[in-house]
Each structure stands twice: as C-alpha cells, then as structure tokens.
Homo-oligomer: A and B are copies of this chain.
Amino acid sequence: MIANDPYAELERRFGRMSAVNRAGAILNWDRSTMMPDGASDDRADQLATLGVISHEMMVAPDMPDLLSRAEEGKATLDAWRAANLREMRHSWTHANALPSDLVEARTLASSACEMAWREAKKNNDFKSLLPTLGEVLKIVREVAAAKSRALGLSHYDALLDEYEPGGRSARVDALFADLGAALPGLLGRVMERQRGGPPPLPLDGPFPVEAQRRLGEEMLRVIGFDFNHGRLDVSAHPFTGGTADDVRITTRYDEEDFARALMGVLHECGHGLYEAGLPRDWRRQPVGNARGMVLHESQSLLMEMQACRGRDFIDFAAPRMRAAFGKSGPAWSADNIHRVYTRVTPGFIRVDADEVTYPLHIVLRYRLERAMLAGDLALADLPGAWNDGMKELLGIVPPTDTLGCLQDIHWPDGAIGYFPTYTMGALAAAQLFAAAKKAVPGLLASIGKGDFAPLLGWLRANVHGKGSLATTDEILAQATGAPLGTAAFKAHLESRYLSA
C-alpha cells in the first residue's frame, strides 16, 4: 500500500492495534473476575489470537519504511505527534527485536514454569522448579540478547526498558545503593521507637463483605473514581485492568481483616485514576499510554501510602469505618487506626510489607535477578543467596523457600527487570506528593475533609494528562524540580515514622 502521509497511516495502524489491545484488556479482566473455569482454553485461544494479530500489525513488512518516512517529516509534526512517533518507534523496536518463534517459546516456557511454580510453592520444593525455571531463564537471556542488539542497551537494561522505557540499571544501582545503605539503619530506629510504646489495638471483625464493598465504593467516590467509567470487582489477585475509558479495579475481601482490602482498593484506585486521566485525545495512540511502570506504581503508592495512610485521611475515614461496621471504642479511634496503618514489621513476604521494609525486599530481588541473568548466580544457589540477603537487609531468615525465594510469580513468569519499578515508584510517589503539598496550599487539609479534588487536579495536570509525552524523569523534573531521587522518600519515612 502507498501511504502519502506516512504519519497518518501510522496513527491509523496504531489506533487499530490499540483497539485490539484494549479488547484484550477487557477479556483479561473478565478472565480473572467473571469467566467460568472451564472456559480457560477458549479464552487463551482468543487472547493468543488477538496478541498475534496485534503483533503482526506491528511487524508488518512496510512498517520500517513507514516509520523512516514519517521520521523524515518529523519537523512538520507538533509536540504530541512527534512524541507519538517516537513512542511508535520504541514499541516497534521492542516488538521487532524478537523473532516470532522466540515470542512463542517464551509464552510456552513461562506457562509451564508458572504451573510448576504453583506446585513448588505449595510443597516448599524449590528443586522441582529448577528444570522449568532454567528453561525460562535461558529464553529470557535470549530475549535480552535480542533486545540488547536492537536497542543498544545492556542485557538487563533491555529487559527493564520494556517495563520502564528509559529505565537504566546505572540509575537503579545508585538509587538502591542509597536505600540499601540508609534503610536498614532507619528501620532499626523505627523498630526501637515502636518498641517504646504499646502496640496498636487490633481492629476486630468480622467485617461482612457487603459492608466492606460499600465502604470501598464510598472511598473510591471520595477520591474521585468515576463509576461511569469503571467498576470495582473481586479477583484472587487484586489488579487494575481495562482501559482508560473503562477502568476495572479488583480487590479481595477477608472477613477478618477489612484494613488490607480497603488499602488495596485505594492502591488500585491510584492506578485507575492514572489511566482515567490519560490525555483524552491521545489515549488510543502510543503517546497517550501511561508512561511506564514507575509512574504507574507512583500513582498507586501516592494514593495508598502518601495520602491514605496519612493522618489527615485517617481522621476523615475513621468515623466512616466505624459507621460501616457498627464499631466504637478505643481501637476505632483515628489515632489507633492510624497506628495500625503505619505499623512497621520486617516480614518474609513482600506483598505484605510496610513501606519501610518493602524497598529492602526489592533491593534483594534486584541484586539476585541481575546476578541470575548475568550467569553469576546459579539457579541451584538461589535459596541460599535469598536467605543470606534477607539476613543482611531485613535481619530475618525465612524458614522455608515458600516464604522465601518461591513467593513471587515474577521470575517463573519470565519477568526479569520488573521488580525495581515498584521501589522507583515509591520514590516517585514521595517526590510527587511532596511537590503537590508545596504547590497546592491546604492540600492535606482538603484531604482531611475528604476533598481530593485539589490533589487529583494537580496529578492530572502534572502526571496523568501527560501520558507518554515526555520521559519519566522529564515529567518528574517538571512536576517536582528534580529527576527521580531518594531524598523525598527518606524524608517522608523520617517524618512519618521518626518525628513528632
């Protein structure tokens, strides 16, 4: 086909790929929330087909020519279109780097390993995972090598770049060296301070699921979640899916512990607000997608950790929690609820970790996955290295691999290069929230009254509405005056856990 306007033709094609991918996002959500178990093969076939169709559109033989010709005319494009073209090239480079048999081999190997991992985790049997995990690692190395050639990046960076475009291990190294040096000491001081007082009173249930759901929906509305463009449902593993116009948040309810589900909903709400705030005119083009996993995680953590575990929000929420569950008494004071929500306890499990210890879990995983990818750590030695790292960073050693190196699905799933984005997101969250407080007078007071509009307005203007117009660091620098760093995060921890 002859495209007289190569850029316009690219927009048409990427718009179509976006529609296919958005259809897949809804089908993925359905799989985790609504689909009966017996339909899993049928659904896998649908999703695989949509994936192949989208991939084939991306690597169509005339794409390199279209991209090059559009790039020659780049001077005529406005800022959004120029950035869109840059993002098109970036996603094309990632997709085109991999021969289709390698893509298929990766899918097959990670499926097989994921199944083996479920058993290995259940039976605390790391050795049984070795064959399939070894195969996954071998294929991920091939993927890394292929992407390294295409992108001109190191192997690890070529993987990281897929989750966080522009993310580089040199930056991660520096950030994590800083955290690895500062956090263990800070953790010790927090623990000592906590030991100086009585533990928080427990929030006793049971908490009926329906009451939890209503409270969660009430809080979502308070924060600004638009139920005309989204839903809240239940899934085994909470996530945010769907599309920018149709945000599907999920949670799970524990009748003995409402606090975790509620904070989980607020966390996913942060993801959902990012999606819902993506630039309206561009959300069906690459430049209108979320920037990357760092900013995505920053939005969930800003909402959960920075805003909603803060005292101002708890003051607003406490009476609503009491009303939701018909509770009263000292355990249900805002003061006690706040102490429950800011309790720090080193533990074995990452997803249960508080915000002080969480980065140490990530530092460990980052070190180990880099060593594994480089071949400096044999898989058979992973459990020992894991336990040594836990001892060093958190001062505790898991009694089993189930509570240790078998806890996460990421490596069996072939996701190497993903873990650091969690903690980079936490750093970005602290940095953005500090900047928002400075830029918007009375921000915390508004949150204390249940008015999130000032915060949301600032986030829309400074993060959400930018989509992928600029890099993560550029967006952060424009919004906060500096690229990603550790200072705001460390200051936040000092302030919340060690002052006053």
* Contact surface of A with B, Cβ cutoff 8 Å: 16, 19-20, 22-24, 26-27, 30, 34-39, 41-43, 45-50, 52-53, 226-231, 243-246, 284
Contact of A39 among B47, B48, B246, B284 (CB under 8 A): B246
Interchain CA distance A377-B405 in the complex, whole Å: 76
CB atoms of B23 and A50 under 8 A apart: yes
CB atoms of A50 and B20 under 8 A apart: yes
Given contacts A23-B27, A30-B26, A53-B20, contact A246 B45 (CB under 8 A): no
CB atoms of A245 and B50 under 8 A apart: no
Q: How far is the CB of A245 from chain B (nearest CB, A)?
A: 4
Contact of A228 among B37, B43, B52 (CB under 8 A): B37
CB atoms of A23 and B39 under 8 A apart: no
Chain B residues near A23 (CB-CB < 8 A): 23-24, 27, 46-47, 49-50
Q: Which residue of B lies closest to A45 (CB)?
A: B19
Interchain CA distance A313-B230 in the complex, whole Å: 42
Given contacts A16-B52, A16-B53, A23-B23, 17 further A-B contacts (CB under 8 A): A16-B49, A19-B46, A19-B48, A22-B42, A22-B45, A23-B49, A23-B50, A26-B30, A34-B34, A36-B227, A36-B231, A37-B228, A38-B228, A38-B246, A41-B245, A42-B243, A42-B245
Copy number in the complex reads 2
Q: How far is the CB of A323 from chain B (nearest CB, A)?
A: 24
Interchain CA distance A20-B23 in the complex, whole Å: 10
Chain B residues near A231 (CB-CB < 8 A): 34, 36
CB atoms of B228 and A35 under 8 A apart: no
Q: How far is the CB of A35 from chain B (nearest CB, A)?
A: 6
Q: Which residue of B lies closest to A245 (CB)?
A: B42
Chain B residues near A34 (CB-CB < 8 A): 34, 231
Given contacts A26-B30, A30-B30, contact A246 B36 (CB under 8 A): yes
Q: How far is the CB of A21 from chain B (nearest CB, A)?
A: 9
Instruction: Jot down 22 A-B pairs with beta carbons below 8 A, ordered by A.
Output: A16-B49, A16-B52, A16-B53, A19-B45, A19-B46, A19-B48, A20-B46, A20-B50, A22-B45, A22-B46, A26-B30, A26-B46, A34-B34, A35-B246, A36-B227, A36-B228, A36-B229, A37-B228, A38-B229, A39-B229, A39-B246, A41-B245
Q: How far is the CB of A76 from chain B (nearest CB, A)?
A: 27
Chain B residues near A22 (CB-CB < 8 A): 42, 45-46
Closest 10 CB pairs of A and B: A39-B246, A19-B49, A42-B245, A38-B228, A38-B229, A23-B46, A39-B245, A19-B46, A19-B45, A36-B228
Chain B residues near A20 (CB-CB < 8 A): 46, 49-50, 53
Interchain CA distance A42-B246 in the complex, whole Å: 8
Question: Residue among A24, A46, A244 with the most chain B CB within 10 A?
Answer: A46
Interchain CA distance A230-B36 in the complex, whole Å: 6
Chain B residues near A48 (CB-CB < 8 A): 19
Chain B residues near A246 (CB-CB < 8 A): 35-36, 38-39, 42-43
Interchain CA distance A34-B27 in the complex, whole Å: 12
Chain B residues near A50 (CB-CB < 8 A): 19-20, 23
CB atoms of B227 and A39 under 8 A apart: no
Q: How far is the CB of A80 from chain B (nearest CB, A)?
A: 19
Q: How far is the CB of A478 from chain B (nearest CB, A)?
A: 29
Q: How far is the CB of A295 from chain B (nearest CB, A)?
A: 22
Q: How far is the CB of A278 from chain B (nearest CB, A)?
A: 12
Chain B residues near A228 (CB-CB < 8 A): 36-38
Q: How far is the CB of A150 from chain B (nearest CB, A)?
A: 26
Chain B residues near A226 (CB-CB < 8 A): 38
Chain B residues near A30 (CB-CB < 8 A): 26, 30
Given contacts A26-B27, A30-B30, A45-B284, contact A245 B38 (CB under 8 A): yes
Q: Which residue of B lies closest to A248 (CB)?
A: B34
Q: How far is the CB of A269 from chain B (nearest CB, A)?
A: 15
